[in-house]
Amino acid sequence: MKLDYSSRLMSLSTSAAKISHAHEEDADPKYKWKVLIAVMFGIFMIILDSTVVNVAFQTLRNEFGRPLADTQWVLSIYVLALGITTPVTGYLGDRFGTKYIYLIGLAMFAFGSLLCGIAPTLPLLIAARALQGIGGGLAQPLSAAMLYRAFPMREIGKALGIFGIVLTVAPALGPILGGLLVDANLWRAIFFLNLPVGITGVFLGLRFLKNDKAAVKPAFDPLGLVLAVVGFGSVLYAASVAESSGWADPSTLSFFAVGVVSLIAFAIVELKVVKEPLLNLRLFGKRVFLNATLIGYVATVALFGAEFLMPVYLQALRGRTALEAGMTLLAVAAASAITTPLAGRLYDKIGPRPLVVVGFALLCVNTWQLAQLEALTPITTILGLLFIRGLAVGLTLQTTFTTALGAVPREQLARGSSLQNSTRFVVQALAVAALATVLTSSLSPAMREQQEKAREAAPMVKSTARFGICETPGVAAEDNVPESARAALAGVPEAQRAAALAKIRAGLQTICDENIQGFENTYRITFYASLVALLLGLFLPGWPAKWAGRSGQQGAPPAPSGGH
């Protein structure tokens, strides 16, 4: 009689529990640090690229002379490729080995970066970005799985805490590097930055990493693969166009419908039909995994869903350059770089509950304060709020991911990481699209039309002067109108010119007020998301209850407290 999938997992989990203690005793004490260094190099490149390209978006429109709808695919195709590839990564890692799939992903990403940098046309740039997304989708989920396998149970928090520095610092450095290169008219160098980092990551991986494979070679799940690609791809595409096309647009609704139906069918197939599913949805049956994953989803709405707001506020409303906005946002990275490794060490000692509760309590207060932003809130005040937000990010982001993977059997780490990454990625895309809709819905129809026309015309206006709707640094409030408007009225008589500028300024003030209201509404929604995450965090394991680390979650004997 054939052994069903659940029985095979139980058998493998028992075997893993028996050998896990021996694994820690026999492991090379230096190997874990080699894995950490190799993985940090590779993932830094992928995470950095997710934000550095956004800064160059308007420059790309100028360079290729294409409309917004066409150029948007430079960003959208990357998201689609990343989201479609991620669910398959766990299976590929188990089938061919995590080392080789991870390195193939890094190499594809680096090669795609080279193609992006030399792309002569927009379609070729979009194709190269798709290659980047596929490479990132292969490499990113396996990084955490390799760290979990390399480090002993008692040091998992410390390992992922250090690794978490990359996840918080890299996105903050992206706008700064991108701003410097774009301002210097070197937009292609944005992609060439990845080459030395990627080559170094591949070299370190080849030298340091061991090729872990599943104890039992997994079977291929073609039906699950097709449904996952269609489901995840359709939902992500719908989310990417929902804000611009509208949630009620027939195209948006059609893709959402196809995606939802495909994902429901995918879940049925994975749970009821195939013996060895592409994504092990049964992991949601583990209480700790489910709770930590749900908190991760809500945290995504509270953290990432709101992070796109601040650059828009600083640049569009306050007249700061991309580089200045990036330097301001560095406060988040600086604070989280301090608390992320600290949270990792505390996780090993006291568990996730106190870290998540404190972090989200801090985030609740901070998000409520951000919901009170005004048109002229001092930048120093914003810096302080962002620093506090970074403290909360460091306590919560990596902690929830670590907790969820801690409930996954060792031989299922690649699948568990793929499940975490792919589903959280979809939640992030939907959250950003929904919050962007809330932001724009605060504008009256007339103001929305006026703002859209200005955005479409932006690439055709050859002006280096900065401009903010609410304020422009160094410009008096009564004189704060776009340079193009002044130029258009240059030959008009003084009295008519003054009246026209006053009318323009009044319209801009209305747009400013409505945008500020939109920011308040959007941050208020993320406040409620933070509150939900705080309540869910109370049900995680950890202090004041007894905490035995990953070994306690797995039911294995605790790891020894001494050396290796």
CATH of domain 27-218: 1.20.1250.20
In this predicted model, what pLDDT tens digit does every residue of 348-375 receive, in sequence order? 889 899 999 999 999 999 999 998 989 8
pLDDT at residue 431 tops 60: yes
Domain 27-218 and domain 282-460+520-557, same fold? Reply is: yes
In this predicted model, what pLDDT tens digit does every residue of 364-404 receive, in sequence order? 999 999 989 898 999 999 999 999 988 998 898 888 888 88
Residues of the chain with pLDDT > 70: what percent?
A: 86
- C-alpha to C-alpha distance for 513 and 442, rounded to whole angstroms: 10
Q: What per-residue confidence (pLDDT) applies to 12?
A: 33
- C-alpha to C-alpha distance for 54 and 204, rounded to whole angstroms: 29
Q: Which two tokens mark 120?
A: 């002569």
Name the burial class of residue 437, with classes exposed (0-12), middle (13-18) and buried (19+) by CB atoms within 10 angstroms of its CB: middle
CB atoms within 10 A of CB 474: 7
Higher pLDDT, 342 or 212: 342
Residues of the chain with pLDDT > 90: what percent?
A: 19
CA distances from 447 to 58, 244, 450, 499 (A): 21, 15, 5, 20
Across the range 313-317, mean pLDDT stands at: 84
- C-alpha to C-alpha distance for 481 and 488, rounded to whole angstroms: 12
CA distances from 500 to 317, 374, 503, 507 (A): 21, 27, 5, 11
- C-alpha to C-alpha distance for 417 and 419, rounded to whole angstroms: 5
Tell me how far the alpha carbon of residue 26 is from its chain's centroid: 36
Name the DSSP class of 478: G
- C-alpha to C-alpha distance for 320 and 313, rounded to whole angstroms: 9
CATH of domain 282-460+520-557: 1.20.1250.20
- C-alpha to C-alpha distance for 23 and 443, rounded to whole angstroms: 59
* Whether pTM exceeds 0.75: yes
In this predicted model, what pLDDT tens digit does every residue of 208-217 receive, in sequence order? 888 877 667 7
> Whole-number mean pLDDT of the chain?
81
Q: What per-residue confidence (pLDDT) applies to 14?
A: 38
546 φ, ψ (degrees, to nearest 5): -65, 140
CA distances from 563 to 24, 157, 235, 436 (A): 9, 17, 48, 50
Q: Which of 67-81, 87-101, 371-385, 395-409 has the lowest mean pLDDT?
A: 67-81
Q: What per-residue confidence (pLDDT) applies to 377?
A: 92
Q: Which two tokens mark 249?
A: 């647009």
- C-alpha to C-alpha distance for 542 and 506, rounded to whole angstroms: 56
Nearest to residue 442, comparing CAs of 507, 387, 518? 518
pLDDT at residue 139 tops 70: yes
Q: Which amino acid is at 248?
A: A
- C-alpha to C-alpha distance for 177 and 326, rounded to whole angstroms: 9
In this predicted model, what pLDDT tens digit does every residue of 254-299 receive, in sequence order? 999 999 999 999 999 999 888 888 888 899 888 999 999 988 888 7
> Contacts for 523-526 with beta carbons within 8 Å, 24 or more apart?
523/306, 523/309, 523/367, 523/368, 523/370, 523/371, 523/373, 524/368, 524/371, 525/435, 525/438, 526/301, 526/302, 526/305, 526/306, 526/367, 526/435
Q: What is the C-alpha radius of gyration for the chain, rounded to an integer number of angstroms?
A: 25
CA atoms within 13 A on the CB side of 47: 20
pLDDT at residue 101 tops 90: yes
Confidence band (pLDDT; 50, 70, 90) for 559? very low
Q: Which of 23-27, 198-202, 242-246, 302-306 has the lowest mean pLDDT?
A: 23-27
pLDDT at residue 5 tops 50: no
CB atoms within 10 A of CB 484: 17
Confidence band (pLDDT; 50, 70, 90) for 452? low
Q: What per-residue confidence (pLDDT) applies to 78?
A: 86
pLDDT at residue 192 tops 50: yes
Q: Which of 51-55, 96-100, 261-265 has the highest mean pLDDT?
A: 261-265
Per-residue three-class SS string for 166-180: HHHHHHHHHHHHHHH
What are the sequence ranges of the domains in the chain?
27-218, 219-275, 282-460+520-557
In this predicted model, what pLDDT tens digit does every residue of 414-427 receive, in sequence order? 888 888 888 887 88
In sequence order, what are the residues at sequence separation of 6 or more whose Cβ sits closer than 8 angstroms to the Cβ of residue 469? 316, 317, 508, 511, 512, 515
- C-alpha to C-alpha distance for 172 and 498, rounded to whole angstroms: 42
CA atoms within 13 A on the CB side of 34: 14
In this predicted model, what pLDDT tens digit does every residue of 482-530 receive, in sequence order? 877 777 777 778 788 788 888 888 888 888 888 898 888 888 888 988 8
